[in-house]
Amino acid sequence: MTTTTAPAPSAERFDWTGRTVLVTGAEGFIGSTLVDLLIERGARVRAFVHYKPYAEKGHLAHLIGDPRVETVAGDVRDAGRVTDAVAGCDTVFHLAALIGIPYSYDSPGAYVQTNVVGTENVAEACRRHAVRRLVHTSTSEVYGTARTAPIGEDHPLQPQSPYSASKIGADMVALSHWHAFELPVTVVRPFNTYGPRQSARAVIPTILAQLHAGAREIRLGSLTPTRDFTYVTDTARGFLALAACDRALGEVVNLGTGREIAVGDLARRLVEASGRDAEVVVDPARLRPSGSEVERLLSDNGRARAWAGWEPEVSLTDGLKRTSEWVADHPHLFAPARYQV
């Protein structure tokens, strides 16, 4: 179910040719997919990646030596480094964040430093250098369990984990720069993006990794929560469309399919997509703390459709199949897959 407003002409036709674009978190799952899409559309990409002394390039390894991509190592908590990276950029996509819910219970302060303070540093750097547009990445986790469905952008924010609390704080920092300083910012709120390159900390790749390793039993936490899963290229297309959409200035915009599926049903779909044979069972050790589990997420994507002409293109069936094939082709990234989902 989605808002029935007629779609606008797609903002995806925006011309990125020759524009210098900064992507923070560029080596990650969504970030690297966005980098690939920007290059395809003619942009010059400055990829801001987390510094590693062992020179690991993450999902940007295939772009090493490509003249269209400049890699800048740093940390969004370092205001000076961020300011230098933003200089000369037309558009900034801010995806760098400390992600994952389970670890946020153990180290909530780290989430505040990276997600909230890091966003402040990015927003201030964009203001200093007068960028054309800042696109800040939020998450559907900020909504908590749906009080009404589908979830529109005006749904109450519910910090049901330290992770979601830090992302709420980051969103407010970004929006405050629109209200206080007229910084041209849009907050993009993806719903459960999945696809190739996603790490085993997430439910879909960790299930697939177990299946392709020959597991006959898939152990999960609660099977009843529902999620709205969006394929990664659709999410990346949404980022580009909203970066070109003036109606979205100073606003929050959901990116989701408007369809939901329970985790248990998803697991069974993944068994089918993998071509394997396995049973799905509940593991009490994987259950989240009481009051922290988000029971339902279902997006209202009416703003993205009406304002930017965006709509998802990849069905869940096709997306799960593509993801299964990618996981099967990259077993070294998932051994051993011991993540809590």
Per the CB < 8 A criterion, the answer to whether 304 and 242 are in contact is yes
User: Among all chains, which residue has been given the structure tokens 């510094």?
Assistant: 51
User: Among all chains, which residue has been given the structure tokens 């990125």?
Assistant: 16
Helix/strand/coil (H, E, C) string of 107-154?
A: CHHHHHHHHHHHHHHHHHHHHHHCCCEEEEECCHHHHCCCCCCCECCC
User: Among all chains, which residue has been given the structure tokens 């929560």?
Assistant: 225
User: 239 exposed, middle or buried (CB, 10 Å; 0-12, 13-18, 19+)?
Assistant: buried
C-alpha closest to that of 122 among 162, 94, 147: 94
CA 256, CA 240: separation in Å to the nearest integer? Answer: 15
CA 316, CA 307: separation in Å to the nearest integer? Answer: 24
User: Is 103 known to be catalytic?
Assistant: no
Question: Which tokens in the block code for residue 339?
Answer: 């993540």
Task: Name the catalytic one among 163, 194, 231, 339.
Answer: 163
Query: What type of residue sits at position 290?
Result: S
CA 100, CA 116: separation in Å to the nearest integer? Answer: 15
Active site residues: 163
